[in-house]
Chain A
Amino acid sequence: MSRDIREVVRDEPLMRDRLLELLADGPLTVPELAAAAHMPASEVMVWLMGMRKYGYVFEEKGPGRLFEYRYSAVKRP
């Protein structure tokens, strides 16, 4: 990670809506979401895990033995 973690974390409220918009069309893995957002995957990981902790997204296992997690937006009223 090239940016200081504090700086990356601080951007979570800034990035949240954009990531949720990208997830609106269906679940994505971290690298897929990072590519769609044009942001480094390591930073997207930090934001997404924060959003998971605070109930904005949830995960599901992908297919196969070596599955990956995919994340979806929690529907909010």
Chain B
Amino acid sequence: MDYDALVVGRGIGGMESALKLGDMGYRVLVVEKEASVGGRMVLLSKVFPTLDCASCIATPKMAATAHHPNVTVLTDSEVEAVSSDGGGRFLVRVHTRPRFVDLAACTGCRQCEQACTVAVPDEWNGEMVSRRAAYIAYPQAIPQKALIERRGTSPCTDACPAGIRAHGYVSLVRSGLYEEAFQLLLEATPLAATLGAACYAPCETVCTRGELEGPVAIRRLKRFVAERHYATADGPGVTPGEPNGRRVAIVGSGPAGLTAAWQLARAGYGVRVFEAGPEPGGFLRQAIPAYRLPAELLDQDVANVTALGVEITTNSPIADVAALKVEGYDAVLLATGTPESRPLGIPGEDLEGVQAGVAFLRDVRAGHPPDLAGKRVVVVGGGNVAMDSARTAIRLGASETRVAYRRGREEMPAHRAELNDALTEGADLELLVAPVQVIGDADRRVAALRCRRIELGEPDDTGRRRPVPVPGSEFDIECDVVIAAVGLTTAVETFAGALLGAPPAGPVDERTLQSVIPWLFAAGDLVTGPSDIARAVGQGRQAAQAIDRWLCGERRGLATVPDPLGVVDRAEVLARQKSHSRRESGLRPVNVTPRPRDFDQLEPPIGEEDARAAAGRCLDCGVCSECGQCLPACPANAIDLSMRGNDRSLEVGAVVLATGYRIFPADLKPQYGHGRFANVITGLQMERLLAPTRPYTSVLRPSDGKIPMRIAYVMCTGSRDESVGNPLCSKFCCMYSLKQNQLIMGVLRFAEVTVHYIDIRAVGKGYEEFFEQSKGMGVNFVKGRVAEIRETPEANLILRYEDVDHGTLAEAEYDLVVLAVGVQPNQDLGQLLAAQGVAFDDRAYVDEVDEDYRPTATSVPGIFVAGALSGPRDIPESILHAGAAAIQVAAHLESLKAPA
């Protein structure tokens, strides 16, 4: 048996049972789902009727439980399964969530909390103030150690193939930490501005805000961050790692090559990049049109790489990789992309006026555009190269630009925005057609493109419907120029077989990107086939990691592609709020106009105010944004975002259920306006306002921070009320209200307090006297129910109530209203317990089947209940009850030992 007893829940009841059992010498495991122990009591101001400080009573018990030699406590943990072994013992499974903070190292200094960029409502303070994603629950929390609320990886971060922590930099921009955001981007890639201008932004496609008015402008924020850095700083602000004496050659300076170079240089490698073209950048420089990615932006990104000492040798096509090895490089990375266009494979392709898409784009970017003025252009293909070619042709003055594609519009692989922009700029679509021949004139110049109509058949293995030619449907599109954009291929033949010959796994290992020749690696489109910048960046990072590991056998300071936590559910994110107000992006839209004639960048840059507001639309899906600010802030180096949860299976001799009650959700009484009227609060919120560790400066109105002078209490909110399905009295709301009345009169000497009640239930030693004392202090008691509450323009509250003593219906105005909310049974473990045969009473509290003779025993031998889980109980009663449970457990455990 691992433990004699399992105690579930560590409120005052659970603590009492655990301590008593521990004192008797039994080994006890306490499982608490929250981050701290102590339950509700420690959050209260004082206790009735003694007015002793609640935390002064609870905190020593919390500490005693935490340090008792026979008691082990698991916080952030939940019991996921309980089953009886048939012999009076139980098998239990406990899941512990990761805290992302090393408990042994954390000193509780709260530096992480100060640095954290995500604000969420502080549930420990009645949601009246914020806390951070990194936090310590409250000042008396035990353990006094931080934890990070991470509900999963945010969809944007999860979707980024480059492994950029998108949510992280959005959250940094929201906080005005622009340089920090830039540095976060640099952890992944030097190409911050490039991605900010030309990434297809898969992050935005999945952004949860997209379910509301539209996604957060995640990509444009990246450009803002990069441009702001470039405008103010000289160099990337990153120092290369200590030289480690190793040299790596990288062939190709596209996004994969540049990113790998950057990562390796940061880790201390000597890196040289060989580029066949006249300038670095690969397709970024040679293919992506300037209206999407101006050369200046790319230049600034490339300068990051050279600033770390990486040498880029241009005009240096490499044909013999083995020679590089001989030259002394320890590893070689091929990142040469897919520079070759696939031919159309039809007669007439050699006619003058037929050009490959990428070659066409390359000529234009190199400053040698063909003369298309007044010409009729047909672009064959439906992908992004086809769109770029069509839009470039329009800018060069083509009189007519048609895009001929063999499937339908829905099947076009081009990014939607690219397609729409091409159409706005004046491209026409010719869908469901396949070229069969280029027709030439007498001078062998293009005169027309002969096409055949297509029908769509069954889906092929890509899921797209297969194009089937319609016999006899040939027709000619008259034109002067045909641009073939039907696909790209690698040029690996250049490497004289270095990469070939390793079937069936393909030329490189998918994970390590290592080829059959150990020192030779490959990354980017060369490996994946034509993809996009972000994917190539991700490949560059992956290759750098693999090279580092291969050469140095360990990961040393090299920013790794994060290991995601599992993506958070978008529906769950949206459900965290009762309502979402509309919040437009406010950014100037991209200025796409018909028939543009220049290559100026289309997307306007965004200014600081707009950027911050745009970032403010983020919903903090994963809660923690992974911005990383807490990591350097923690002096104890205790933060560990790679921590994961764990499951334990244990055998125990008995179970004590002590998960307490649940507060009645006050918004289930809409006529009282909680959640709508700022100055209607609950009794629990008032407890916090009166506590020494209160969220506000004093007892103040949430609407305007003024001191309330007229305060009303509405008793029995959610209790003794069939309209919300709870006819039971919650037992302690009368007493806590009386306690609060007295405390308020101490804090706000001139305040008037009125209690609207049905009857006051002051049953207990000294309770009636306490009631009389409240009356004596001047609390005004009005017998009768409150019908409704309205709000005035000054945020005051008008109560409409019955006055039973005077037989009238009346109205009165107050500055603040406190709803004395009652309790409901906590059904957290309901299903689990029911499956074990634990009986519940008709109000869903755990049933003490033999309350008179064996109090705390449930219907299952060996399972006991302590505190408010079996019915509303105040603190003294909960402690008594929990003590009784401990005795029952001891008797049960002894009976297990007794010979049969």
Binding site for B on A (CB under 8 A): 1-7, 9-14, 16-17, 29-31, 34, 41-42, 45-46, 48-50, 52-55, 59, 65-69
Distance of A54 Cα from B134 Cα, bound (Å): 13
Q: Which residue in B130, B615, B705, B707 is a CB contact (below 8 Å) of A53?
A: B130
Residues of A within 8 A of B580 (CB): 4, 7
User: Which B153-202 residues sit within 8 Å CB-CB of chain A?
Assistant: 171, 174-176
> Is residue B568 within 8 Å, beta carbon to beta carbon, of the partner chain?
no
> Is residue B576 within 8 Å, beta carbon to beta carbon, of the partner chain?
yes
Residues of B within 8 A of A46 (CB): 128-130, 702
User: A66 and B128: CB pair below 8 A?
Assistant: no
Whose C-beta in chain B lies nearest to the C-beta of A1?
A: B678
Residues of B within 8 A of A12 (CB): 119, 130
User: B119 and A13: CB pair below 8 A?
Assistant: yes
> Is residue B253 within 8 Å, beta carbon to beta carbon, of the partner chain?
no
The smallest C-beta distance from A14 to any residue of chain B, in angstroms, reads: 4
Distance of A16 Cα from B709 Cα, bound (Å): 30
Whose C-beta in chain B lies nearest to the C-beta of A4?
A: B577
Distance of A68 Cα from B704 Cα, bound (Å): 10
User: Which B99-121 residues sit within 8 Å CB-CB of chain A?
Assistant: 113-114, 117-121
Q: Which residue in B176, B581, B698 is a CB contact (below 8 Å) of A69?
A: B698
Residues of A within 8 A of B174 (CB): 13-14
The smallest C-beta distance from B674 to any residue of chain A, in angstroms, reads: 11
A selection of 14 A-B contacts at a CB cut-off of 8 Å is A7-B577, A10-B118, A13-B174, A14-B615, A29-B705, A31-B705, A34-B704, A41-B704, A42-B795, A46-B130, A49-B128, A54-B132, A67-B707, A68-B706
Distance of A2 Cα from B114 Cα, bound (Å): 28
> Is residue B613 within 8 Å, beta carbon to beta carbon, of the partner chain?
yes
Residues of B within 8 A of A1 (CB): 675-676, 678, 702-703
Q: Which residue in B119, B581, B707 is a CB contact (below 8 Å) of A68?
A: B707
Q: Which residue in B132, B171, B576, B707 is a CB contact (below 8 Å) of A66?
A: B707
User: A13 and B175: CB pair below 8 A?
Assistant: yes
Q: Which residue in A6, A30, A65 is a CB contact (below 8 Å) of B576?
A: A6
Q: Known contacts A7-B580, A13-B119, A41-B705; is A55 also within 8 Å of B114 by CB?
A: yes
Distance of A69 Cα from B129 Cα, bound (Å): 17
Q: Which residue in B127, B704, B709, B750 is a CB contact (below 8 Å) of A5?
A: B127
Distance of A10 Cα from B117 Cα, bound (Å): 10
User: B620 and A10: CB pair below 8 A?
Assistant: yes
> Is residue B700 within 8 Å, beta carbon to beta carbon, of the partner chain?
yes
Residues of B within 8 A of A68 (CB): 705-707
> Is residue B696 within 8 Å, beta carbon to beta carbon, of the partner chain?
yes
Q: Nearest 10 A-B pairs (CB), nearest first?
A: A30-B705, A50-B130, A4-B577, A13-B175, A42-B678, A14-B616, A41-B704, A12-B119, A49-B129, A9-B130
User: B616 and A11: CB pair below 8 A?
Assistant: yes
> Is residue B578 within 8 Å, beta carbon to beta carbon, of the partner chain?
yes
User: A14 and B613: CB pair below 8 A?
Assistant: yes
User: Which B691-750 residues sit within 8 Å CB-CB of chain A?
Assistant: 695-698, 700, 702-707, 709, 750
Residues of A within 8 A of B117 (CB): 13
How many A-B contacts are there with CB distance less than 8 Å?
112
> Is residue B223 within 8 Å, beta carbon to beta carbon, of the partner chain?
no
User: A50 and B119: CB pair below 8 A?
Assistant: yes
Residues of A within 8 A of B176 (CB): 13, 16-17
Whose C-beta in chain A lies nearest to the C-beta of B120?
A: A9
> Is residue B232 within 8 Å, beta carbon to beta carbon, of the partner chain?
no
User: B612 and A14: CB pair below 8 A?
Assistant: yes
The smallest C-beta distance from B745 to any residue of chain A, in angstroms, reads: 16
Binding site for A on B (CB under 8 A): 113-114, 117-121, 127-130, 132, 171, 174-176, 576-581, 612-613, 615-616, 618-620, 675-676, 678, 695-698, 700, 702-707, 709, 750, 795
Residues of A within 8 A of B616 (CB): 10-11, 14
Distance of A29 Cα from B778 Cα, bound (Å): 30
Residues of B within 8 A of A49 (CB): 128-130, 695-697
Whose C-beta in chain B lies nearest to the C-beta of A43?
A: B678
The smallest C-beta distance from B648 to any residue of chain A, in angstroms, reads: 33
Residues of A within 8 A of B678 (CB): 1, 42, 45
Q: Known contacts A7-B580, A11-B616; is A31 also within 8 Å of B704 by CB?
A: yes
User: B705 and A45: CB pair below 8 A?
Assistant: yes
Distance of A31 Cα from B700 Cα, bound (Å): 13
The smallest C-beta distance from B585 to any residue of chain A, in angstroms, reads: 14
Interface of B is mostly: loop
Residue in B121, B580, B795 with the greatest tally of chain A CB atoms within 10 Å: B121
The smallest C-beta distance from B16 to any residue of chain A, in angstroms, reads: 32
Residue in B579, B613, B698, B705 with the greatest tally of chain A CB atoms within 10 Å: B705
Distance of A17 Cα from B173 Cα, bound (Å): 12
Residues of A within 8 A of B113 (CB): 54
Distance of A40 Cα from B577 Cα, bound (Å): 19
User: B129 and A6: CB pair below 8 A?
Assistant: no
Whose C-beta in chain B lies nearest to the C-beta of A8?
A: B121
Distance of A13 Cα from B521 Cα, bound (Å): 44
User: A45 and B702: CB pair below 8 A?
Assistant: yes
User: B128 and A30: CB pair below 8 A?
Assistant: no
Distance of A63 Cα from B507 Cα, bound (Å): 79
Distance of A68 Cα from B618 Cα, bound (Å): 35
Whose C-beta in chain A lies nearest to the C-beta of B581?
A: A3
Residues of A within 8 A of B127 (CB): 5, 9
Residues of B within 8 A of A6 (CB): 120-121, 576-577
User: B121 and A9: CB pair below 8 A?
Assistant: yes
Distance of A67 Cα from B748 Cα, bound (Å): 11
Residue in B615, B676, B706 with the greatest tally of chain A CB atoms within 10 Å: B706
The smallest C-beta distance from B206 to any residue of chain A, in angstroms, reads: 20
The smallest C-beta distance from B199 to any residue of chain A, in angstroms, reads: 24
The smallest C-beta distance from A28 to any residue of chain B, in angstroms, reads: 10
Residues of A within 8 A of B698 (CB): 69
Residues of A within 8 A of B579 (CB): 3-4
Residues of B within 8 A of A30 (CB): 704-706
The smallest C-beta distance from A58 to any residue of chain B, in angstroms, reads: 9
Residues of A within 8 A of B707 (CB): 66-68
Distance of A55 Cα from B695 Cα, bound (Å): 13
The smallest C-beta distance from A55 to any residue of chain B, in angstroms, reads: 7
The smallest C-beta distance from B112 to any residue of chain A, in angstroms, reads: 12
Whose C-beta in chain A lies nearest to the C-beta of B695?
A: A49
Residues of A within 8 A of B613 (CB): 14
The smallest C-beta distance from B172 to any residue of chain A, in angstroms, reads: 9
Residues of A within 8 A of B676 (CB): 1-2
Distance of A52 Cα from B705 Cα, bound (Å): 13
Whose C-beta in chain B lies nearest to the C-beta of A12?
A: B119
Distance of A50 Cα from B581 Cα, bound (Å): 21
Residues of B within 8 A of A54 (CB): 113-114, 132
Whose C-beta in chain A lies nearest to the C-beta of B177?
A: A13
Distance of A71 Cα from B709 Cα, bound (Å): 21
Distance of A4 Cα from B574 Cα, bound (Å): 12
Whose C-beta in chain A lies nearest to the C-beta of B696?
A: A49
Residues of A within 8 A of B619 (CB): 10
Q: Which residue in A34, A65, A69 is a CB contact (below 8 Å) of B700?
A: A69
Residues of B within 8 A of A66 (CB): 707, 709, 750
Distance of A50 Cα from B705 Cα, bound (Å): 13
User: A5 and B705: CB pair below 8 A?
Assistant: no
Distance of A5 Cα from B706 Cα, bound (Å): 19
User: B703 and A45: CB pair below 8 A?
Assistant: yes
The smallest C-beta distance from A74 to any residue of chain B, in angstroms, reads: 12
Residues of B within 8 A of A65 (CB): 750
The smallest C-beta distance from A54 to any residue of chain B, in angstroms, reads: 6
User: A42 and B704: CB pair below 8 A?
Assistant: yes
The smallest C-beta distance from A69 to any residue of chain B, in angstroms, reads: 5
User: A42 and B577: CB pair below 8 A?
Assistant: no
Residues of B within 8 A of A45 (CB): 678, 700, 702-705
User: B121 and A5: CB pair below 8 A?
Assistant: yes
Residues of B within 8 A of A34 (CB): 704
The smallest C-beta distance from A20 to any residue of chain B, in angstroms, reads: 11
Distance of A53 Cα from B128 Cα, bound (Å): 12
The smallest C-beta distance from A70 to any residue of chain B, in angstroms, reads: 10
The smallest C-beta distance from A51 to any residue of chain B, in angstroms, reads: 9
Q: A14-B613, A42-B678 are in contact. List 5 more A-B contacts (CB 8 A).
A: A14-B615, A42-B704, A48-B705, A49-B128, A69-B697
